[in-house]
């Protein structure tokens, strides 16, 4: 199966039981709007942790009805995140969502050794983009958590992403490992890692996907461009997942797709005890709603 638009995610979650979602630092209008919509659509049952007065004020201003929802008053941001994470660690809910709090604060709580959401695996971020100029959704990893992944980290990131894509119905996702060029250049580490990942895939050391790399961005997403350069590849021009060399490249691509190409996006953290909805504070309410859908699709 191949997904063409983020609204296809609704088909995947429909009929599944509602997920209990904890919104940490819930006093944020876009996050509240998205969560309440997902509640009305029977996708989640939210628990709001944050500044209760600020939450009430936002709801009054925007006409959100939260009667019947559990609201836990915790005005100190760090404490509201800690309470949310502890609740998930205690298996009292299924999904964590970031509200009005910085990414680093949230991730550090998630990684807390005592009460965090570690599993022993590497945690990684995945974003799914709907871009008008591409024939299907395209996933990008890691644009928000792992800063400079080494080869071992990249293997874990691919495995996290591939398992997740299987949950969405992909059988053999096509993975392009990006570099600045499509040839191995001994001075460009990203191309060396890409070649190793491809070979590991050929030898079945990384399974259930087709990996090719290094590929430059143009030949990863354009069949014409790959053909023009004489690249023979099952992945080129038909990529499902782009593996980024590092967070800077990933984050710039993310923002370029959203701001220049007006792409729609949904994103979550994988590999923790539960899926974590982690969108940028500048992301739209729609992006937050679609990310909630994605977390429900990822949740067991
Ligand atoms: N998965 C599992 N464990 C991890 C991971 C991971 N991805 N990252 C770190 N750990 C573990 C380490 O093994 C170690 O035990 C502990 O956590 C601390 O590791 P450090 O010292 O490398 O990490 P921190 O705590 O300084 O930072 C972890 C962050 C995730 C906060 C850091 O990597 C980070 O800031 N990432 C980028 C976040 C960001 O700014 N994104 C912006 C884009 S919107």
Percent of the chain with pLDDT over 90: 96
Q: What is the mean predicted confidence (pLDDT) over 189-207?
A: 98
Distance between Cα 107 and ligand 1 center (Å): 7
* 2: confidence class by pLDDT, cuts 50, 70, 90: confident
Burial profile 143-179: b = 16 or more Cβ within 10 angstroms, e = fewer: bbbbeebeeebbbbbbbbbbebbeebebeebbbbbbb
145, 247, 270, 277: which to mutate for ligand 1, most atoms within 8 A of CB?
145
- Report yes or no: 210 and 204 within 8 Å, Cβ to Cβ: no
Residue 300 clears pLDDT 80, i.e. is over it: no
Task: Please state which of the four CATH numbers 3.40.50.10950, 3.90.1150.10, 3.90.25.10, 3.10.20.30 is assigned to the domain occupying 7-118+272-298.
Answer: 3.40.50.10950
Residue 99 clears pLDDT 90, i.e. is over it: yes
Using alpha carbons, select from 82, 80, 73, 76 the residue that is nearest to residue 55: 73
At 29 the pLDDT is 96
Residue 41 clears pLDDT 80, i.e. is over it: yes
Matching residue, tokens 């019947």: 68
pTM attached to this predicted model: 0.97
pLDDT tens-digit series, residues 49-94: 999 999 999 999 999 999 999 999 999 999 999 999 999 999 999 9
Listed in sequence order, the residues at least 6 apart from 173 whose beta carbon sits closer than 8 Å to its beta carbon are 139, 161, 162, 165, 166, 209, 210, 240, 241
At 280 the pLDDT is 84
At 299 the pLDDT is 86
Instruction: Give domain limits for the chain.
Output: 7-118+272-298, 124-259
Q: Atom of ligand 1 at shortest distance to CA of 123?
A: 1
Residue 177 clears pLDDT 90, i.e. is over it: yes
* 110: confidence class by pLDDT, cuts 50, 70, 90: very high
Q: Do domains 7-118+272-298 and 124-259 have the same CATH topology?
A: no
State both tokens at 142. Answer: 């890691």
Q: Which long-range contacts (CB under 8 A, 24 or more apart) does 216-220 make?
A: 216/178, 216/179, 216/180, 216/181, 216/182, 217/178, 217/242, 217/253, 219/182, 220/176, 220/178
pLDDT tens-digit series, residues 227-284: 999 999 999 999 999 999 999 999 999 999 999 999 999 999 999 999 999 998 788 9
Which helix (H) or strand (E) is 81 found in, with range? helix 77-89
Peptide bond into 142 cis (omega under 30): yes
Largest CA distance in the chain: 62
At 1 the pLDDT is 79
pLDDT tens-digit series, residues 230-240: 999 999 999 99
Q: What is the CATH architecture assignment of 124-259?
A: 3-Layer(aba) Sandwich (3.40)
Establish whether residue 157 lines the binding site of ligand 1, counting it when its CB lies within 6 angstroms of any ligand atom: no
Establish whether residue 229 lines the binding site of ligand 1, counting it when its CB lies within 6 angstroms of any ligand atom: no
């Amino acid at each position: 199966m191949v997904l063409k638009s983020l609204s296809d995610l609704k088909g995947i979650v429909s009929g599944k039981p509602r997920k209990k979602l904890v919104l940490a630092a819930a006093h944020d209008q876009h996050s509240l709007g998205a969560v309440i919509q997902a509640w009305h659509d029977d996708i989640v049952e939210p628990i709001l942790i944050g500044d209760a007065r600020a939450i009430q004020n936002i709801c009054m201003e925007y006409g959100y009805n939260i009667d019947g929802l559990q609201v836990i008053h915790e005005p100190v941001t760090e404490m509201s995140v800690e309470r949310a994470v502890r609740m998930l660690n205690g298996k009292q809910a299924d999904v964590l969502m970031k509200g009005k709090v910085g990414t680093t604060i949230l991730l550090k709580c998630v990684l807390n050794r005592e009460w965090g959401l570690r599993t022993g695996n590497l945690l990684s971020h995945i974003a799914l983009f709907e871009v008008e100029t591409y024939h299907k959704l395209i996933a990008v990893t890691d644009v928000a958590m792992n800063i400079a992944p080494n080869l071992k980290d990249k293997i874990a990131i691919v495995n996290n992403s591939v398992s997740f894509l299987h949950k969405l119905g992909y059988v053999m996702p096509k993975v392009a490992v990006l570099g600045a060029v499509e040839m191995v250049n001994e001075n460009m580490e990203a191309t060396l890692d890409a070649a190793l990942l491809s070979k590991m895939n050929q030898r079945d050391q990384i399974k259930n996907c087709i990996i090719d790399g290094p590929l430059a961005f143009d030949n990863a997403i354009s069949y014409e461009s790959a053909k023009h350069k004489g690249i023979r590849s099952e992945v080129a021009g038909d990529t499902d997942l782009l593996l980024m060399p590092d967070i800077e490249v990933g984050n710039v691509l993310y923002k370029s797709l959203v701001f220049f190409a007006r792409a729609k996006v949904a994103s979550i953290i994988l590999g923790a005890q539960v899926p974590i909805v982690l969108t940028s504070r500048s992301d739209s309410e729609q992006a937050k709603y679609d990310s909630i859908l994605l977390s429900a699709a990822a949740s067991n």
